[in-house]
Amino acid sequence: MATTYKSLSTNDIVTTKTLLHEAIPITGTIVSGTYVSGTTERNIKNYTHGMFQSVYDYPYLSSSANHIFDIAVGFHATSSLSGTSVNHVQVSKKINMYNQMAQVLMGYDESGSVRRFDEDGDLTGGTKMNEVVFLNFARLLTKDEIKKGSFQLDLGTSASFDQSNGVFAERIRLADTNAQNDYRVNSPAGDYAVLYADSTAGTNLTTDDGTQKAGLLFYQAGIAVVTASVFLDAADGGILSNSAGTCEMNAGAEAITDLFVSGAISASCDALRQRLYNVQFNNTTELNSTVYFCRAHHNEFNYSTNPTYLSSSKLVVKNNASDTPVSYITTVGLYSADNELLAVAKMSEPLKKDPSNELTLRVRLDY
């Protein structure tokens, strides 16, 4: 325990913030097709509540499995899909899923109503996304947030569902282009930006110059909201060109709007995973640090309170009485105002200290 203390002034303390990034690639083969046993995908977990589906990077019953993301679908109560139908499945759950996510991510308007997902994020009107897909990425992958401008989601948009013909023969990429300079801050969930669609295989968009709006990406929440119109052609109200055609989402040749009505949420999730080609982004870990500059001037800390420093009342490091005192610094302790030890920093090797030199030790505390 120290018996001599030195107070640190504001000039001796500085705080810093460092952003660490890690590249996260998720291939479509992991999301669908790698761990199939019969007709069961062992890395896909469905729940009795039927509200969403979880995707793992390995069979989820294995201790080695890591949760990658959750996937769900939903539509607003004003959507044409919410009308009565004898074949309608889980309509209330799909509306509830939309409302729940919109409440968290978009918040409420002046009248107290939940805002709908807005295509351009300005909340001043314009096109609303009433039928959407949610990709909720695990905190294990996103860490503190997704790095702005790094997100890419590739989707297969070939019209036929026939796997032999290749649902990925035509593809589009959804990316948060230039988001580091152009993002929104009007969400209760943090920053978000618009996802723009561009063709990467074929020319399948009505506006194929990288400016077609196709969803929203919420960085701190780690959630991508994708409009269902990415799988529809212009004649059906989508963003695909008429020559590309509306995508068949399952073996029954149902369009995504039909599947939203006739299928359970899990069925829509299964179909969407079949068209997910690749996802990649950089995550962000915010490392906050406080740096303490511990200064030992020439006339300070030249003695030790260690009992072994003295022998018969003489300093063991002095051969002659006229020799200057010498000490060796091995540890720096940071104490509270009432002298309670809070943190300890160890030297890589003892540092010699005597009246002829001064030391400045830089101690960094990360949190």
| DSSP classification of residue 78 | T
- Which whole number is the average pLDDT over 296-318? 77
**pLDDT at position 293, please?**
96
348-360 tens-digit pLDDT? 999 999 899 999 9
In the predicted structure, residue 341 carries a pLDDT above the cut 70: yes
Radius of gyration of the chain (CA): 30
**pLDDT at position 304, please?**
76
| 355, 324 Cβ separation under 8 angstroms | yes
134-185 tens-digit pLDDT? 999 999 999 999 999 999 999 999 998 876 668 899 999 999 999 999 999 9
Coil vs helix vs strand at 268: helix
pLDDT band at 107 (very low <50, low <70, confident <90, very high): very high
Sequence-distant (≥ 6) Cβ neighbours of residue 285 within 8 angstroms: 19, 20, 21, 22, 143, 144
**pLDDT at position 215, please?**
97
36-89 tens-digit pLDDT? 988 899 999 999 999 999 999 999 999 999 999 999 999 999 998 987 666 788
Q: What gap in Å lies between CA 157 and CA 367, rounded to an integer?
A: 45
What are the structure tokens assigned to 114, written together? Answer: 């939940």
Task: Label each residue of 180-241 as H, E or C.
Answer: CCCCEEEECCEEEEEEEEEEEECCCECCCCCCEEEEEEECCCCEEEEEHHHHCEHHHCCCEC
In the predicted structure, residue 307 carries a pLDDT above the cut 80: no
Angle ∠(137,143,147) on CA atoms, nearest 5: 85
CA neighbor of 358 nearest in space, from 303, 302, 301, 296: 296
What integer best gives the mean pLDDT of the chain?
Answer: 91
**pLDDT at position 86, please?**
61
CA neighbor of 197 nearest in space, from 153, 133, 160: 153
Note the helical H segments in the chain: 28-31, 91-105, 139-142, 256-262, 265-274
Q: Residues of 252-267 as b/e, b for ≥16 C-beta within 10 angstroms?
A: eebbbbbbbbbbbbbb
**pLDDT at position 28, please?**
92
| 252, 261 Cβ separation under 8 angstroms | no
Q: Which residue has the higher pLDDT, 326 or 144?
A: 144
Angle ∠(62,66,72) on CA atoms, nearest 5: 110
Quickly tell me which residue has 């097709």 as its tokens.
Answer: 33
| DSSP classification of residue 143 | B
CA neighbor of 75 nearest in space, from 212, 258, 296, 218: 258
| Helix (H) and strand (E) counts in the chain | 5, 22
In the predicted structure, residue 2 carries a pLDDT above the cut 80: no
**pLDDT at position 123, please?**
83
**pLDDT at position 11, please?**
94
| 173, 190 Cβ separation under 8 angstroms | no
Question: What DSSP letter does each residue of 94-122 carry, written as one string?
Answer: HHHHHHHHHHHHT-B-TTSPBPPEESSS-
In the predicted structure, residue 253 carries a pLDDT above the cut 60: yes
In the predicted structure, residue 365 carries a pLDDT above the cut 80: yes
In the predicted structure, residue 316 carries a pLDDT above the cut 80: no
Q: Which residue has the higher pLDDT, 294 or 87?
A: 294
47-61, 73-87, 239-253, 309-323: range with highest mean pLDDT = 47-61
Residue 178: CB atoms within 10 A of its CB come to 13
- In this prediction the pTM is 0.85
**Chain centroid, CA 362 distance in Å:** 32
**pLDDT at position 165, please?**
66
- Per cent of the chain over pLDDT 90 is 72
**pLDDT at position 345, please?**
94
In the predicted structure, residue 1 carries a pLDDT above the cut 60: no
- Domain extents for the chain? 20-284, 297-366
Q: Which residue has the higher pLDDT, 276 or 162?
A: 276
Question: Which backbone phi and psi does 265 adopt, to 5 degrees?
Answer: -60, -40
- Which whole number is the average pLDDT over 115-138? 92
